[in-house]
Amino acid sequence: MNLFSLSAWRHRLLRYYPLVALSLTVGITALLLVTLAALPPLGEVGNPSHNLVSLKYIEDGLGDTGALNIVAGMILDYRAFDTFGEACVLFTATCAIIILLRSDTPDAYDTMLHQMEEPHTNIILQSVSFLLVGIMLVFGCYVIANGHLSPGGGFSGGSILGAALILYVNSYGIRRASHFINFTIYRRLVSFSLLFYAAFKGYSFFMGANHLPSGIPLGKPGDLLSAGLILPLNIAVGCVVAGTVYAIYVLFSQGEMR
Amino acid sequence: MYLEMALLLYLIVAAVTVFLRQRLLDAVIIYASYSVVLSAVWLLLLAPDLAITEAAVATGISGVLFFVVLKRIQAMDAEHSLDEEV
Amino acid sequence: MVENFPFFSIFLPIFAAIFCMLWHERYAWHFTLGSTAITLLLSLATLNYIYSNALSVTYLMGHFPAPFGNEIRFGALEAFMASLFSGISLLTMWGGTATVRCDIHPSKLRFYYLMENLLLAGLLAIIYSNDIFTTFVFIEIATIAACSLVSAGENGRSLLASFVYLAMSLLGSGLLLLAISILYSITGHLLFAGLAESIASLVATGSYTLPLAVLSALTIAGLSIKSAIFPFHGWLPEAYSSATTPTSALLAGIVTKTYLVFLLKLICRVFGRAYWASMLLSRIFLACGVMAILYGSLQAMRQRDLKQTLSYASISQIGYISVALGVGTIPALVAACFQMVSHALSKSMLFMATAGLAEASQGETSYKTLRGAARRNPVAAAAFVVGALSLVGIPPLPGFMAKLYLAQSALASPEGWLVVPVILLGTVLGAMYYLPALATLFGSDTAAWSDRESAEGDKSPPALLPASLGVFISLTVLLGFFAPQVWQILEQGIINLH
Amino acid sequence: MWLYLRENYYQITAMFLFGIGLSALLLDRNLVKKLIGLNICNSGIYLFLAAQGYIRGGAVPIVADGVQLYINPVPTGLILTGIVISVSVTAFALALVVRLYKRYQTLDIDELSKLVVKEGM
C-alpha cells in the first residue's frame, strides 16, 4: 500500500517499501505465534470462552428461541442486532456496486459487450441447466425453510437460489431471464424483504427493551412452523441474498440490468 | 487426525501458491479450491452452519465474482485490441 | 418514552435508505433531509433528557439482559456526539445539494443520498452500541458507505483513492477482528460489561498478560489505521481531496471521529483508565499524536491545492485528539472530546466554504484559480475565515478553547513538558499554512480572471449553500462562547461512561 | 515445543494464513491478488476464532436428545456474520477494480498511481 503522490523523497521511501512491509508482516506473524503459546489450548472444556454465556445459549436455547439449531437461534434471536447489521452490510455493498457498475447511458462499449455476452445456443449447458436449475431452486428453498432445524439459514439458502438464477442466465441469456427478474423487480424484492426484516426485528427489539412480551408463539420444537420469528426472518434474508447475488453477477458480467 | 493435518497443510500451500502464481486465472482457481477445502475444515471443527455458508457464500459468490471480473477484463482487452486495429 | 429515541435514530436512517431505493428518484433528497432532521431532533431530545437527569441508560436490543443479548447504552457523551454528527450530516447534505447535483451523474444521485443515510445509521450505531462485535459490523457498514461516497465522484483519482481507502480500512478492521477473537478466547464475553469485569480480574490476577498486551496493541493499530492517526494516514489526503467537496466535508467532519469515540469507550469502559495509563501503548499513542501535528502542518504548507491543504491540516488536528487520548486523565479525555467537536464543526465548515469558493471560480480548488475568490462569494469567504481562525486558535473561537483545555489538562499530568510546547508550535505552524490560503483568497483579482467572469455572467451560488454556511458560522461562534457548558456536558459524559 | 505444536495445529495454521494474506495484501502489486490476499487474511482470522469454539468430544450444536456436551455456538455465529461481510466487501472492491481497469487498462497499483498523477497534471 504505497503512498502514491510521487514526490522526490518518496521515491527513496518506495524502494524500501517491500522490505519494510515484509519485515512488518513477519514480525506480526511471529508475535501472534508467540501469543498462541499463552492462549488457551484447542478443544479443552475448561477454556475461559466456554463460560456462562455459551452454556446459557446451549441450555436455554431451545426454550427461549424454540430453534433446534442453537446457532440459528443465537444469531436471529439472542444477538439479532448483529445479523440485522449484516443484512445492512449486504444492502450497502449492493447499492455501492450499482453506483459504480450500472451504466445508464449505454455507450458503444456496453452495447458491444452485450453481443459478446448473448450465449449462442449451447446445447450442453442448456440441457444441464434444464435439469439442474429446478433442483437447485428446491434445495435452496429447503435450506432456507429448515434454517432453524438443521444447519443452513437465510444466507446460505439465498446464495444457493442466487447460484441457480446465475446458471439460468448463463444458459438461456439475460433477455429471457429479465422476464421474471429485472431491475424494478429486484429493487422491490430487496426493499420489501429488508423493510419486512427491519420492521419485525424493530418490533421485537422495541418489545424486549420495554420488557413487554412480544407475543410471538414459539410452536413445538422440531416442527417446520416453530421458533417464532426465525422462519419468516430467514425467508426475508434469503430473498435479500438471492436478489443481491443475481444483481451483483449481472452487473459485473453485463454492466446493465434491464 | 492426519486428515486434519493434510487439509490444513493444503490451505497453507494453496495460500502461498496464490501469492506466487503470476497468471491471474491460476490464482483465482487456486483460491476457489482453497475456499472449498476451508469449508471441509469447518466440518472437521463441528460447525456445519459454517461449512454450508462458506461453500455457498464464500466460494459461490466471491469465487464466481473473481472469474467474472477476469472474463470482463479479457473482454475489455479484446475490445481495446479491436480499437487499435480499426 | 425518550429512552427509545436512540433506537429510533438508528433505525430511521436505514428505513429512509430503503425508501430511497424504493421510491422515485425525486424523493431521495427529501427522504434523506427528513430522516436526518428527525434524527437530529431525536438526539437533541435524548441529550436534554440524559443531561438533565445525569444518567446513563442501558437499552436492551431484544428480550435478553446484558451478557447474553445485544444492548445499546447512551450517556451524555454519546447523545452529544450523536446530535453533533446528525447536525453536521444535515448541514453538509442540505448545503451541498447544488455541488453534488453537478458533480454526480443524475441517475446515481438517489444512491448517493442512500449511502449518506446508511453512513449516518452506521456511525450512530457505532456510538451507541455496547457490544464489541456489533460495533465491528457497523464499522463495516460505515467503511463501505464512506468508500462508496468517495468513489461516487467517478473521476479516475477518486476511484483509486477509494480503493486505497477501502484496502487500508479493511486491513484495520481485520486487525480489530483479530483483537476481538483473542479477547473472546481469553474472556468469553463480547459485551462491554462482561469484558470490563473479566479484564479487571485478569489484570488483578496477572494472568494472560501477553495476550492482553497484544490484543490492545492490535485494537489500537486497527483503529488508528481507520482514523488516520500518524503512521497510517496515507489514504486520507487522496481520499478527501478527490471526493466531491460536500462528501469530504462529511467524511472529514464525522467519520474519523466516530472511531476515536469508540476507542474512548474502549479505554474508559473496557480497559479502564488506570490500565490504559499504565500501558506503554498510551505513550506511543501520545508520540504518534505529536508527530501527526508536526507532519500534518509541514505537509499542509507544501500543498498548492486548497482541499489538499485542508486534508493534511485535518491529519494534524487528529494529532491533537490522539495526544489528549494519550495523556489519559479525565480532563485530558474531556479535552479530546472537545477537540473532536470543535474540529468536526470547523473542518466541515472549511470544506463547505471551499465548495462555495470553487463554485465561484469554475470548480477548481487550486490556489491559482481561487485567487480573489473572496469577492465573488463573500459568504463562503466569511465562513472560511471563521473556520481558519478557529483551527489556528484565535481566542473567542472553539479551536482556541480546545487547545486551552488540552494545555491545562496536560500541565496537570507528567507529560506537560512535551505537550504544551507542541501545542504552541502547532498553532504557529497552523498560522503558517492558513494565512497564505487567506491571502490568496483575498488577493487581487488577476486581469484575466475578471473579464472571463463578465463573459460568463455572475453565476450566483444557489440559496442553500450560503444559508448552511451561515448556520455553520453561528454554530461555531456559539460553541466558542458556550464552551464551559459544553465542557460540563462532556465531563458528565466521560464520568458516567464506565 | 513439539507438544504445543501437536496440540494447537488449527491456531498455528490460522496465524500462518493471516501472515500470508497480510503479506499478499501489502506486497503484491496486482489489485486482484491484493483482494485474494485480503480474503485469505480474513479466513485465517475466522479459522482462529472457530478453533477457539471447538471442544473435543462435543457434538454439533443441533439439539438432539442424549447429547451432553455441545461445542460453543458463539464463534460459529460470529464467523457466519464475518463470511458474509468479507464477501460483500470483496464484491464492492472488485467493482472498483473493474471501473479502474475500464479507465486505465492496468491492474498494477504503481502504474495506476503514475497514470492518476499524470492525468491530474
Per-residue pLDDT, C457: 39
Cell of C412: 496537570
pLDDT in tens, C418-436: 888 999 999 999 898 888 8
In this complex, the chains that touch D, judged by 3 or more CB pairs closer than 8 A, are: A, B, C
Alpha-carbon distance of B45 to D60, in angstroms, equals 9
Chain A contact for C70, CB < 8 A? Answer: yes
Contacts of B82 in chain A (CB under 8 A): 112
* Residues C56-72: tens digit of each pLDDT: 888 888 888 878 888 88
Q: C58 to chain A nearest CA, in Å?
A: 9
Chain B partners within 8 Å of D30 (Cβ): 24
Q: How many domains does chain A have?
A: 1
Q: For residue C134, what is the nearest residue in chain A, using CA coordinates? A: A82
- Chain A residues inside the 8 Å CB shell of B53: 153, 155-156
Torsion of CA D14, D15, D19, D20, to 10 degrees: -30
Which residue on chain A is closest to C214 by alpha carbon? A35
Contact A206 C108 (CB under 8 A): no
- Cβ contact, residue pair D87, B8, below 8 Å: no
Report the pLDDT value the prediction gives residue C450, as an integer from 0 to 100: 47
- The answer to whether D96 contacts chain B (CB < 8 Å) is no
Reported ipTM? 0.93
Measured from the Cβ of residue C493, the count of other Cβ atoms closer than 10 Å reads 26
- On whether any CB of chain D is under 8 Å from the CB of B75, the answer is no
C156:D104 CB<8 A: yes
DSSP classification of residue C57? E
pLDDT category, C25, cuts 50, 70, 90?
confident
Is D70–A58 a contact, with Cβ atoms under 8 angstroms apart? yes
D81 or B85, greater pLDDT: D81
Q: How many CB atoms lie within 10 A of CB D4?
A: 12
Best of A11, A34, A97, A218 to disrupt the D interface (most D CBs within 10 Å) is A97
Task: Report CB contact under 8 Å: B57, A163.
Answer: no
- Please identify among residues 76-105 of chain D the ones whose CB lies closer than 8 Å to any CB of chain A: 76-78, 80-81, 84-85, 88-89, 91-92, 94-96, 98-99, 102
- Give D116's Cβ-side CA count (13 Å radius): 27
Best mutation site among D87, D94, D101, D108 for testing chain B: the one with the most B CBs within 10 Å?
A: D87
Q: Which three cell numbers stand for residue C301?
A: 504548507
Q: What pLDDT digit, counting tens, does each position of C297-309 carry?
A: 998 888 888 899 9
Pick the CATH number of D2-120 from 1.20.1050.10, 2.60.40.2480, 2.30.130.10, 1.10.287.3510: 1.10.287.3510
Q: In which band, very low, low, confident or very high, does the pLDDT at C359 lie, cut at 50, 70 and 90? A: confident
Are B23 and B58 a contacting pair, CB within 8 Å? no
pLDDT score, position A118 = 58
Domain residue spans in chain D?
A: 2-120
A242 domain residue, yes or no: yes
Q: In chain C, how long is the greatest CA-to-CA distance?
A: 78
pLDDT value for A119 = 55
Inter-chain residue contact C61 with A209, CB threshold 8 Å: yes
**Do C246 and C92 meet the contact criterion of CB atoms below 8 Å apart?**
yes
Residues of D with CB under 8 A from a CB of C: 18, 22, 25, 31, 34, 38, 41-42, 45, 48-49, 52, 74-75, 78, 81-82, 85, 88-89, 92-93, 96-97, 99-100, 103-104, 112-113, 115-116, 119-120
What is residue A11's predicted lDDT score, i.e. its pLDDT? 66
Residue D80 with chain A: CB contacts under 8 Å: 71, 75, 153, 155
Phi and psi at residue C415, to the nearest 5°: -85, 10
Pick from D77, A62, A56, A72: nearest CA to C68 = A56
Cβ neighbours of C478 (radius 10 Å): 13
In this predicted structure, the answer to whether residue C311 has a pLDDT above a threshold of 50 is yes
**pLDDT at position C455, please?**
38
pLDDT band at C361 (very low <50, low <70, confident <90, very high): confident
**A107, pLDDT greater than 70:** no
Within a domain: A136: yes
B38 → closest Cβ in D43, D101, D102: D43
| Contact list, C144 vs chain D (CB under 8 Å) | 88-89, 92
pLDDT of residue D2: 67
pLDDT for the residue numbered B85: 65
Task: Give the domain extent around B50.
Answer: 2-85
C420-to-C108, C405, C407 alpha-carbon distances in Å: 48, 11, 6
Nearest-Cα distance to chain A for D38, in Å, is: 12
| Percentages (nearest 5) of helix, strand, coil residues in chain C | 80, 5, 15
Q: What's the Rg (C-alpha) of chain B?
A: 17
For residue C451, the model assigns a pLDDT of 42
Structure confidence by residue, pLDDT tens digits, B35-80: 999 999 999 999 999 999 999 999 989 999 999 999 888 888 887 7
Q: Which residues pair with C129 in a beta bridge?
A: C72
What percentage of chain A reaches a pLDDT higher than 90? 30
The answer for D 19-58 residues in CB contact with A (under 8 A) is 19, 22-23, 25-27, 51-56
pLDDT category of residue C437 using cuts at 50, 70 and 90: confident
Is residue C82 scored above 90 in pLDDT? yes
**What is the spatial distance between Cα C433 and Cα C298, in angstroms, rounded to a whole number?**
8
Of the two residues D38 and A15, the one the predictor is more confident about is D38
pLDDT digits (tens, 9 = 90+) for A33-78: 999 888 888 888 878 887 788 888 888 888 888 888 889 888 888 8
Q: Which residues of C touch A32 (CB under 8 A)?
A: 178, 214
C-alpha distances out from residue D113 to A256, C165, C299, Å = 28, 14, 19
Q: Around Cβ A127, how many Cβ atoms within 10 Å?
A: 11
Instruction: From chain D, pick out residues whose CB is under 8 angstroms from the CB of B76.
Output: 101-102, 105
Distance CA B72, CA A252 (A): 8
Between CA A192 and CA A179 the distance in angstroms is 20
Of B15, B47, B73, nearest to D101 by CB-CB distance is: B73
pLDDT the model gives residue A68: 87
Per-residue pLDDT at C198 exceeds 70: yes
Asked which of A217-231, B15-29, C385-399, D85-99 is least confident by mean pLDDT, the reply is A217-231
* Model pTM score: 0.93
Chain C environment of D41 (Cβ under 8 Å): 171, 174
Residues in chain D where the model's pLDDT stays below 50: none
For A79, the closest of C69, C194, C234 (CB atoms) is C69
D1 touches chain A (CB under 8 A): no
Rounded distance between C-alpha atoms, residue D47 and residue A13, angstroms: 35
Residues of C in contact with A104 (CB under 8 A): 105, 107-108
Segment A80-100 shows an average pLDDT of 92
Looking at beta carbons, which residues of chain A come within 8 Å of C211?
35, 38-39
Look-up: residue for cell 465542557?
Answer: C487
Q: Which residues of A touch C21 (CB under 8 A)?
A: 95, 187, 190-191
Each residue of C132-169: pLDDT tens digit? 999 999 999 999 999 999 998 778 889 999 999 999 99
What pLDDT is stored for residue C67 in this prediction? 81
Cell representation of residue C266: 474502549
For residue B45, the chain D residues in CB contact (below 8 A) are 10, 50-51, 53-54, 71
Residue with cell 459504480: A100
- Check CB contact of B6 with chain D, cutoff 8 Å: no
Q: Do B58 and D28 touch (CB under 8 A)?
A: no
- List the 10-69 stretch of A: residues with Cβ below 8 A of B: 69
Contact yes or no for D43 and B58 at CB 8 A: yes
What residues of B are in contact with residue A113 (Cβ under 8 Å)? Answer: 75, 79
C-chain residues near D88 (CB < 8 A): 144
Would you state the pLDDT for residue B78? 80
Higher pLDDT among residues D27 and A3, named by residue: D27
Three-point CA angle D102, D106, D108, nearest 5°: 135
Structural domains in chain B (count): 1
pLDDT at A104 over 80: no
Nearest chain A alpha carbon to B67: A253
| DSSP 8-state class, residue C253 | I
- For C315-357, the pLDDT digits (tens) are 999 999 999 998 888 999 999 999 999 999 999 999 999 988 8
What is the rounded average pLDDT of the residues A143-169? 90
Question: Which chain B residues are Cβ-neighbours of A143 within 8 angstroms?
Answer: 52, 56
B 15-34 residues with CB below 8 A of D? 15-16, 18-19, 24, 27-28, 31, 34
Q: How far is CA C194 from CA A24, C270, C300, C422, in A?
A: 33, 9, 44, 39
Per-residue confidence at C448, pLDDT binned at 50, 70, 90?
very low
Alpha helices in chain D (DSSP H): 2-7, 9-27, 31-53, 73-104, 109-120
DSSP string computed for C335-378: HHHHHHHHHHHHHHHHHHHHHHHHHHTTT--BTTTTTTHHHH-H
- Residue to mutate among D5, D15, D71, D112, with most A CBs inside 10 A, is D15
